[in-house]
Amino acid sequence: MPTDSVLTSSPARDALTTGVQGHAVQLYSDNAHLMDVLTRFVGNTLLAGNVALVIATLAHKRQLERRLSALGLAPASAALRTRYITLDASETLSRLLIEGTVDRGRFNEIVSQVFARLQSAVSSQDCRVAVFGELVALLWAQGKPREALRVEQFWNELAKKQSFSLLCAYPVASFTHENHLEPFLKLCGLHSSVVPTGSPMESSSEEEHLRTIAQLQQKTEEYEKQLALRQTEQQFRLLVEAVQDYAIFMLDPDGHVRTWNLGAERIKQYTATDIIGKHFSTFYPEEDVRNGKPQWELVIAAKDGRFEDEGWRLRKDGSRFWANVTITALRDKSGKLVGFTKVTRDFTERMQVQRALQKEVTERRAAEQQLHRSEKSLRKLSLHLLRTQDEERKRIGRDLHDSLGQYLAVLKMKLESLASPAGQNGSAATELARCIQLAEDCIKEVRTVSYLLYPPMLEERGLKSAIPWYLDGFSARSGIHTTFEAEPSFGRLPRDSELALFRVLQESLTNVHRHSGSQTARVRLSMKEGMGVLQIEDQGKGISSDFLEQSGQDWMGAPGVGLRGMNERMRQLGGKLELFSDQGGTRVSAMVPGEPTAPPD
């Protein structure tokens, strides 16, 4: 809006000083002032030999003519010479209106006729026409600002074809209603100058005029700003109301709902009528309300200016949704808390996706760790198995070489001596007896070595016979005293189970011998809940708790080096291995099913 040009252009100054040029508007608060201005406007026109058209109310017409007469300007005589024409504003308006709307055609027709009459009265081409109009003021007063503006527009259109000075007048009292602001600004825009209330024409000082203009300008700018602000607010309100993805609403300082938008309705299911005036704790689950969470959130928001939260909230139907909530405190210029805005988003889906993702990540990580552990333990196990196998081979090799080999070498030596003529001189009978003894030793040795590899007794007669046989040999080799008890009812187990238990026995006794320091070992065989149970107990120093803790679930890995492999074997058979150890000794319990079972995957 070209406010500046309206107010500071030279026509405006002309209007204020010498009369009215262009299209000026006079705002007046008291009638006397208007009359002063009008008298000057018309008076100057007539004095200068120009012509005037006055469209005024009857009252204004009478007052004007009285004043003109007082100045000696004889309006009646001027009227006779058609240098001065008056139209009754009310009557003219009724002629212009068609169904409540000012008709452009009629306006042009009426005004043109009057202009023609005025112009016919003067011969000079320089003669100027001055027009005063109150049609607009009437329309405004009737509550038709739009029509008033149209009339102003018609005048402006006419001014493009014909030259005249126009002065409009509005009582300032008309602009009381705030709805008038926008039309008022438009109105100002339709005029080449705006003459403020007061008596600027009487003021002699240019400075005074400028001050008045500035004041008016300021006022206009304020109007404009207010209007812009109001428009922005309006647009913003519409925007907020239309938002669907966010529940945006306001709370009063106590937490009662003040406004509601579409998003709030969509997310929380309440309509504006349902919820406005209710306390916002309605949206919280019972436990939160009990804990005072809603109120506490307001306290934080009021203190920090803002509060953010994620958590469960309730819909109208009682169902829960995962909400992302931001509460912002609203304060007026003085800092007083006037309420809160609350923005709520439904994050249920996002939360679920996130949780699912998190769960997957956790599971995957656990699986990876498990796999890593398994791999590690498998490596350890296979390394151990290889080592055990090597040791076993070494032992067997040594046994074969050291005992059997030597026996056989000596046997051969003796037999060769006997065969040679040189050797015949000794006692052949004694030497032959030695040879027979050596052959027997060889047979015994072969049996021992092969039995340790796989006791034939185990297969033929079962654990109950194989164990005491093995214990005898072990005691003889190690010097450790062993005892053996077997439940009378203990019968045969599946072949694999018997062999596995026998290996546990060998491994455990090796550990007793190597690590425990125990001088005794007790072995028991029993049946428990359909499982064959083998227990090996020593009275040694036990496995240190440090060691057990350190190796964690890998306890099988070290103390009973081979126990781990045994455990693996037990599991394959659907059984298990348990280790108990304290300062009083160590107990290994191995359990396998009494009946064959399918190995676990």
Partner 1 sequence: MPAKILIVDDHEVVREGVKTLIMGSRPEWTICGEASNGEQAIQAIENLKPDVVVLDVTMPKMSGFDAAIKIADLKLGCRVLIFTMHESDRLPHDVRAAQAQGFVLKTQAARDLIRAIECVLAGGTFFGSETVPV
Binding of residue 426 to partner 1 (CB under 8 A): yes
Compute how many residues bind partner 1; rule: CB under 8 A. 23
CA–CA separation, 216 and 491 (whole Å): 118
Which tokens belong to 107?
A: 């306006």
Is 423 a residue that touches partner 1 (CB under 8 A)? yes
Residue 565's Cβ-side half-sphere holds a number of Cα atoms within 13 Å equal to: 21
For partner 1, the closer CB: 120 or 430: 430
Q: How far is the CB of 406 from partner 1 (least distance, A)?
A: 5
- β pairing state of 337-346 and 481-486: unpaired
| Residue recorded with tokens 């003067």 | 122
Tell me the closest approach of the beta carbon of residue 390 to partner 1, in angstroms: 18
* Cα angle: 531, vertex 537, 543; to 5 degrees: 115
Long-range CB pairs of 68-74 (<8 Å, 24+ gap) are 68/39, 68/42, 68/43, 71/39, 71/43, 73/43, 73/46, 73/47
72 versus 479: smaller Cβ distance to partner 1: 479
| Site membership for partner 1, residue 448 (CB under 8 A) | no
Of 351, 410, 439, 579, the one binding partner 1 by CB under 8 A = 410
Query: Least distance from C-beta 519 to partner 1, angstroms?
Result: 24
Is position 269 an interface residue for partner 1 (rule: CB under 8 A)?
no
Minimum distance of partner 1 from residue 405's CB (angstroms): 5
Give min distance, CB of 475 to partner 1, in A. Answer: 22
Examine residue 442 and tell whether it contacts partner 1 (CB under 8 A). Answer: no
Instruction: Name the segment binding partner 1 (CB under 8 A); options: 147-155, 302-310, 416-424, 512-520.
Output: 416-424
Q: What is the phi-psi region of residue 255: left when phi exceeds 0, alpha when psi lies from -120 to 50, beta otherwise?
A: left
Shortest CB 410 distance to partner 1, Å: 4
**What is the rounded distance in angstroms from the CA atom of residue 546 to the CA atom of residue 527?**
33
Q: Is 23 in contact with 108 (CB distance < 8 Å)?
A: no
Least Cβ distance, residue 484 to partner 1 (angstroms): 32
**Residue 75, token pair as written in the block:** 């309006």
Pairing of strands 306-314, 193-195: unpaired
Tokens 């005048």 locate to: 155
Rounded CA separation 580/256 (Å): 66
**Site pattern 371..400 for partner 1 (x: CB under 8 A):** ------------------------------
For the bound state, the minimum distance from the C-beta of residue 549 to partner 1, rounded and expressed in Å, comes to 38
Which two tokens mark 263? 């998003």
Choice between 410 and 548, CB closer to partner 1: 410
| CB of residue 452 to partner 1, shortest distance in Å | 20
In the sheet that holds 51-56, the strands lie side by side as 84-88, 51-56, 129-133, 165-171, 23-28, 193-195
Cα 145 to the center of its chain, rounded Å? 50
Q: Given candidates 303, 355, 395, 401, which one binds partner 1 under the rule CB under 8 A?
A: 401
Which residue among 104, 316, 414, 464 contacts partner 1 (CB under 8 A)? 414
Which has the closest alpha carbon to 329: 309, 305, 308, 307? 305
Collapse the DSSP code of 419 into the 3-class scheme (helix H, G, I; strand E, B; otherwise coil) and give the result: helix
- Residue 276: which of 300, 297, 260 has the closest Cα? 260
Q: Which residue in 59, 70, 238, 422 binds partner 1 (CB under 8 A)?
A: 422
446 binds partner 1 (CB under 8 A): no
Q: Which is nearer to partner 1, 438 or 466 (CB)?
A: 438
- The rounded distance, in Å, linking the Cα atoms of 470 and 502 is 9
Report the residue from 269, 406, 475, 539 that binds partner 1 according to the rule CB under 8 A: 406
Binder among 420, 489, 553, 583 for partner 1 (CB under 8 A): 420
**One residue of 14, 88, 103, 441 binding partner 1 per CB under 8 A:** 441
Q: Per the structure block, which two tokens stand in for 392? A: 């076993």
By beta-carbon proximity to partner 1, the closer residue of 167 and 404 is 404
440 binds partner 1 (CB under 8 A): no
- Tell me if residue 410 falls in helix, strand or coil: helix
Residue 544, CA distances (Å) to 368, 511, 516, 548 in order: 30, 14, 11, 7
Return the amino acid letter for 94: S
Q: Residue 69 or 437: which CB sits closer to partner 1? A: 437
The yes or no reply on residue 421 touching partner 1 (CB under 8 A) is: no
Would you say 316 or 434 has its CB closer to partner 1? 434
> What is the 3-state composition of the chain as percent helix, strand, coil, each rounded to the nearest 5?
60, 20, 20
477 is a contact residue toward partner 1 (CB under 8 A) = no
When asked if residue 517 is in the footprint of partner 1 (CB under 8 A), the reply is no
CA 109 to mean position of chain CA atoms = 68
**Cα–Cα dist 450/381, whole Å:** 25
Closer residue to partner 1 in complex, CB, 279/414: 414
57-65, 181-189, 401-409, 528-536 -> range binding partner 1 (CB under 8 A) = 401-409
189 vs 405 by CB, closer to partner 1:
405
Site for partner 1 contains 295 (CB under 8 A): no
- Listed ranges 294-302, 382-390, 420-428, 527-535: which one lies at the site for partner 1 (CB under 8 A): 420-428
Judged by the rule CB under 8 A, the positions of this chain that interact with partner 1 are 401-403, 405-407, 409-410, 412-417, 420, 422-423, 425-426, 431, 434, 438, 441
